[in-house]
Amino acid sequence: MSDLLIRRADVLQITGDKHTPSASILRDHDIVITGNRIERIVPTGIDPSQFRDVIDAAGLLAMPGLINTHAHVPMVIFRGLAEDVNIDRWFNDFMWPLESNLEPDDVYWGTLLGFAEMLESGVTTTADHYFFMDRAAHAVEKIGARALLAWAIFGSQGHDKIRETADWVRDFQGAAGGRIRTWMAPHAPYTCDDDFLRASVEAAKRLNVGIHIHAAETPQQTQSSLEKRGQTPIQVLQQTGVFEVPTILAHVLGATPSDIEIMAKVKTGVAHAPKTYMKLAMGAAPLLQFRAAGVPVGLATDGAVSNNTLDIWESLRLMPMIQKMTTGVAENLPIPEALYIATRESAQVIGMGDQLGSVEPGYLADLILVDLNGMHHQPLHSITASLVYNTRASDVRTTIVNGQVVMRDRQLLTVDKAEIAAEVRARVNRLAQRTPAKRIQVYNP
């Protein structure tokens, strides 16, 4: 008896390398899942009676579960509270005063809410960066997602906080049957001094994990780092040893050409969250330069206070459009490259390029079934064009993580959505209080 058969699906295949990828469709195939792995993919015809569970996917597209390479998932509890402000006011007048209200249970319920939204939109793995991550891990375990969790810490919290989060990294590594991995997360070079960064690297090396950090988020951050420290943020990370472990760098809009040379020589990837950059008027990232240098790029949403949703389809759509618009070259970031970034390259950014981001035998069974029959897809001349430019989060019908069906025909099976929404609503009055004198940090990069 095998575990799960997905019958009669069309299967998205992304092949080739990042510079010359090709996207194609295997028509009418069966996918056999055994345990948490994809066992084989063959033309339709397998006898379904030999399986514990069968999903008929006729007319649906099977593709890799999407990966969100940088988020602050519990921030969904604050969404809509910081609108039409620049990045300085976003941090100093809104986000950091709001987060002074945060309690551990807010993170638990916020994580459930955010992951419910993401599983419903086909995101199966998220690299998350936030506080009280022991509570977040319990929520991820319950809801059935895969996550690379990182507990954000500031230099102002002192070295005890590094030891405390290192213990958490050790204790939660491989939790939820292997669905949870844990990394260290000093917040950013402008909120952590050199000693704090070095001590974080020592902890990461001892635990054999990577570091998830914000870096050179804007050109202004690069400029002020040069003025204050005589180094760019990327040079600070190099000097303090951060690049001696694998890293995820969030945003990096302020990378200089020599920064990109540094990044190309180390094991790093860039998390790219274009909606945040547009809303906070941060500018455009040098994505084409990153990729030309061999630095992998992954799709991200960032938190919902700057992105409003955790809809990675929006990131997929905005990414090529911003690159086309800002370079004035409509041929830049064509559809196969955008899909390569959304799948294989995003998996590479979180250090799982050999296990996620492709529907192929031996890979982890994280996949989604997408319904391209809506009017906004018809007459569907090009499936791949529809995936990048037409698909809505609600087109995802079924979501499978680690071989387990977590959403089936739009029904989330692991949690009670009404309970989550009620728990979060019960917290909104307290969470919406802003006391700037109580803010947890000051943004002054």
Smallest distance from Zn ion to CB 303, Å? 6
Smallest distance from Zn ion to CB 61, Å? 31
Residue placing its CB nearer to Zn ion in the complex, 146 or 212: 212
**Dihedral of alpha carbons 309, 310, 316, 319, sign:** positive
Residue placing its CB nearer to Zn ion in the complex, 250 or 370: 250
Residue placing its CB nearer to Zn ion in the complex, 9 or 271: 271
Strands 268-272 and 297-299: parallel
Smallest distance from Zn ion to CB 435, Å? 23
Residue placing its CB nearer to Zn ion in the complex, 144 or 298: 298
Residue placing its CB nearer to Zn ion in the complex, 82 or 250: 250
Residue placing its CB nearer to Zn ion in the complex, 41 or 248: 248
Smallest distance from Zn ion to CB 311, Å? 16
Smallest distance from Zn ion to CB 335, Å? 27
Smallest distance from Zn ion to CB 425, Å? 25
The token pair at 76 is: 């969904």
Smallest distance from Zn ion to CB 187, Å? 9
Q: Is the peptide bond before 189 cis (omega within 30 degrees of 0)?
A: no
Residue placing its CB nearer to Zn ion in the complex, 250 or 295: 250
Q: Contact positions toward Zn ion, by CB under 5 A?
A: 250, 302
